[in-house]
Structure 1
Amino acid sequence: MKPLNAYLLTVFTLLFGFSITAQNPFGVNLAGADFGSNMPGTFGVDYTYPTENELDYYKSKGLTLVRLPFKWERIQPSLNGSLNLNELRRIKDVLNAAENRNMQVILDLHNYCRYKLNGQEVIIGSSQLSIAHIKDLWTKLAIELKDHSNIWGYGIMNEPHDLLANAPWFDTAQNIIDGIRTNDTQTNIIVGGDSWSSAERWMQYSDNLKNLNDPANKLIFEAHVYFDNDASGTYKGSYDAEGAYPNIGIDRVAPFVNWLQANDLNGFVGEYGVPANDNRWLTALDNFLNHLKQNCINGTYWAGGPWWGNYILSVEPDGSTDKPQMAILEKHLSTASSCSTLSSNNIESDIKFQLFPNPFNDHIMIKGLKTGAEINIWDLQGRLVASQVVENSKISNLDGLHSGVYILKHEHKFIGRVVK
């Protein structure tokens, strides 16, 4: 027998994971601001930033996500000091130019948990460089950048590795998260793995990252994958000498993919790339990207950027000629993803779901509830994970939920159940 407040139970598939849709796009690293060993160096001599022409090129290819590497020493020349206004303007110029083109940007602090002081590289945890220093940087960056709506995520540190025992990556990452969230509760935070963000070594070095706490529930975990023998991306030998094979990328990313699925977490591959000197590398890239799509994970190719010259992984065009890797990247932007399955059934009341227009818009139309009605979203452990107010028969801002099972309630009524 139904209670007086008749319930509606709707089972539908709603994937909040990654795909190649507009919300979770594939893209490219546009390097240049991370160039140069001279710190902070001189803009235009030691380092540069991507141009509007470059953004136009990659946008025309469908690569609408830009991972933008930059250096700590340049944005904050003195530890705990003010941000460099010229450098901040350059970053904001890229953000604005990208926004004008409907492109999203990842701000990638490309420092490996290190900072150059007086020409010498020091590591976080040393007497000269503390976790508090990096927390200070990101706290200040969040204040300055939080209003840019096209920031896909804060990439808090590129490729942590060989860290000191008194400053493990977990502790550093948690402090950075805490600092950002004092000022910005909306932007995704992208946490790379330890040991050079290796997907292959993820379980050995990065399994504990699943225990990080983000009150906004907007963490994305980042791995890197290269297909040469030592996975460094240097590709010093031939395809055969490097021991490559068609599914090498699939095998190397497997520990990371399995970890994401086992822990119901969001993931992203921030770097991958191959040479174009043997078509078999392109086949491996093709297979790898197809595998990412099948598992609803997106990524950014390494790399584009104006100063690469004849770098073997570069996809910067040679004049008007595309690099061979680009055809593979474009192929996966023009084919359908397997992540957009959506269905509904068993509607039993006057409150109706309209799933519009696809799950990656992260909103649901609910007919029968007035504007201002509050929807509470609970996980299966009985924890309230989100509250949304209905506006024009719609609840929005669901992008913070991981793939999983959730109960939707309005007052004492069951509204629906989200099932992965």
Structure 2
Amino acid sequence: MLGCQTSGKAVAEASGKDQSKMDFWDTQRKGANMMNSRSLPEEYRAAKAANIQFIRLAPDKWAKDEKFLFEDQPDPNPKRDFLIGNADNYKGLVRSDLKKLKKDLDAAQSQNIKVVITMLSLPGDRWRQFNGNKNDDRIWQNKKYHKQAARFWKDLASELKDHPAVIGYNIVNEPHPETEKTNPLSDFWTQDFNEWYQKVEKTPADLNALNRRVVKSIRTVDKETPIILDAGLYATPWAFKYLQPVKDKKTLYAFHMYEPYELTSQRENQQKKYKYPGTVEVGEKSIAKYWDKNELRKFLRPVREWSQRHDIPANRIIAEEFGINRTVPGASTYLKDLISIFNENGWHWSFYAFREDTWTGMDYELGTDKIRWDEEGNPIKVRKDNPLWNVIKKELAK
């Protein structure tokens, strides 16, 4: 695929036209999420060797000590948010953080790896792993944080718009206005997204309003870099039912796919011992469904129907995150079936995750073996070809 990109550039130059960043997304792209607790520029070389075309990077995960990522305790320094400075009240970019991010992007560009920048936190919306493992729903309660988020992205876009590695701005990872306590949507298996949205439209919990405001703000300083918008309720495909396209021709729309979560999550699955394909009980009412490729395709149908209804081309849709705990029986078949569905729809995709440093549950190069630990308590990671990783490796090589 990288060869196709070079050819496209040659064609553009021969015709006297400059290739825009949006051109990158005209061809189906296959990437990975690289969400580490620190900048690891050496991993871009490994990504290139694996034929990964783009990396989805969450730099604000670099801000805190690793030990507070998954603890149910408050961070001792909650007012230090990467790039934002203070998610309680944004005043301007942290220049030292920006310098660190640009250096990491330079490393990506040196390997011809493109990068989508995504934020785990926004003003009024601190990532829960940095917030005592509790949702921060202030952005869905007060529009002053919409304004601050728009200003933050305007400032960041102004700084990154000319960087050749940056191929997308993903406004916020997994927005979830549905968790705001005034009008919660607790079980999407039984509740209707459209009915829920009618209650919150034009309020601070209106994700579409936030999207429009931030996109408009970015475009005052950057007309070219593609913008990527996640669906609601942690980017579930079903939240596409109320997602509204923005009036911007250089915007893509994204979903995440870990369903059924009762199957794909080791924590949720450890007692049930579900396998794929197989029957899984889902939702608050424990609805039993048999999950196979046909059921996965059915679950993703709202995305396809939405794109058809709004005349959004398939190459403007991204399966931005997907995965399954590598220890789940049938994990390789699950990944193979999902990728096959993405490919048949012509959607871009990026698996979770590539060599994450804080968690091994979806590090597919490790296979299905249990992790061994050294004397200092560090995981011993033995990366090798295995049936699980080979599913992804084969697709990346095409």
TM range (shorter): 0.5 to 0.7
Secondary structure, in 3 states, of the residue corresponding to 1:202? helix
**Contact 2:331 2:388 (8 Å CA) reproduced:** no
Q: 1:257 aligns with which of 298, 304, 308?
A: 304
Answering whether residue 247 of structure 2 is matched by residue 213 of structure 1, we say: yes
Please tell me whether the aligned partners of residues 122 and 129 of structure 1 are also in contact (alpha carbons under 8 angstroms): no
**CA 1:295 to 1:279, structure 2 compared with 1: closer, same or farther past 3 Å?**
same
Given the two structures, how large is their TM-score scaled by the length of structure 1? 0.63
More strand by share: 1
Q: CA RMSD in A?
A: 3.0
Question: What code does the residue aligned with 2:394 have?
Answer: K
Alignment of 1:133-282 (within 5 A): 133-163=148-178, 165=200, 166-167=203-204, 168-203=206-241, 205-206=242-243, 209-210=244-245, 212-214=246-248, 217-230=249-262, 233=265, 236-237=268-269, 238-239=274-275, 240=278, 242=280, 245-247=291-293, 248-265=295-312, 266-278=316-328, 280-282=330-332
**Cα distance in 2, alignment partners of residues 128 and 21 from structure 1:** 32
In structure 1, the residue matched to 2:146 is 131
Q: Which residue, 346, 360, 367 being the options, matches 1:296?
A: 346
- In 2 relative to 1, CA 91–324 (structure 1 residues): closer, same or farther, beyond 3 Å? farther
What letter matches 1:175 in structure 2? Answer: R
Larger Rg: 1
Cα distance, 1:144–1:181 mapped onto 2, change above 3 Å: same
Structure number with the higher helix fraction is 2
Deviation at 1:85, TM superposition (A): 1.6
CA shift for structure 1 position 102: 0.9
Per-residue deviation, 1:325: 3.2
Following the alignment from structure 1 to structure 2, what is the Cα–Cα distance between the partners of residues 233 and 20? 33
* Structure 1 position 28 matched with structure 2 position 32: yes
The one-character-per-residue Cα deviations of 1:100-152 (angstroms, maximum 9, x if unpaired) are: 11111000111387137996835214359521010010000010000012212
8 Å CA contact retained: 1:225, 1:249: no
Please list the CA deviations of residues 44-90 of structure 1 after superposition, one character each: whole Å capped at 9, or x if unmatched. Answer: xxx312331x1122211111210001339211114332211221122
Inter-CA distance 64–136: structure 2 relative to 1 (3 Å threshold): same
2:50 pairs, out of 61, 71, 74, with: 61
- The runs of 5 or more residues in structure 2 that have no matched partner are 1-21, 62-80, 181-199, 282-289, 367-380
Aligned AA for 2:167?
Answer: W
Q: Can you give the 5+ residue segments of structure 1 that lack an aligned partner in the other structure? A: 1-17, 33-46, 336-420
Tell me how far apart the structure 2 counterparts of residues 23 and 93 of structure 1 sit (CA, whole Å): 28
- Structure 2 equivalent of residue 315 of structure 1: 364
Contact 2:32–2:55 (CA under 8 A) maintained in structure 1 = yes
Q: Which residue pairs with 1:400 in the alignment?
A: none
Displacement, 1:24? 4.0
Q: How far apart, in 1, do the equivalents of 2:214 and 2:26 lie? A: 28
SS in 1 for 2:117: strand
Q: Percent identity?
A: 20
Contact 2:266 2:327 in 1 (8 A): no
Q: Return the TM-score normalized by structure 2.
A: 0.67
Q: In the comparison of the two structures, how many residue pairs are matched? A: 296
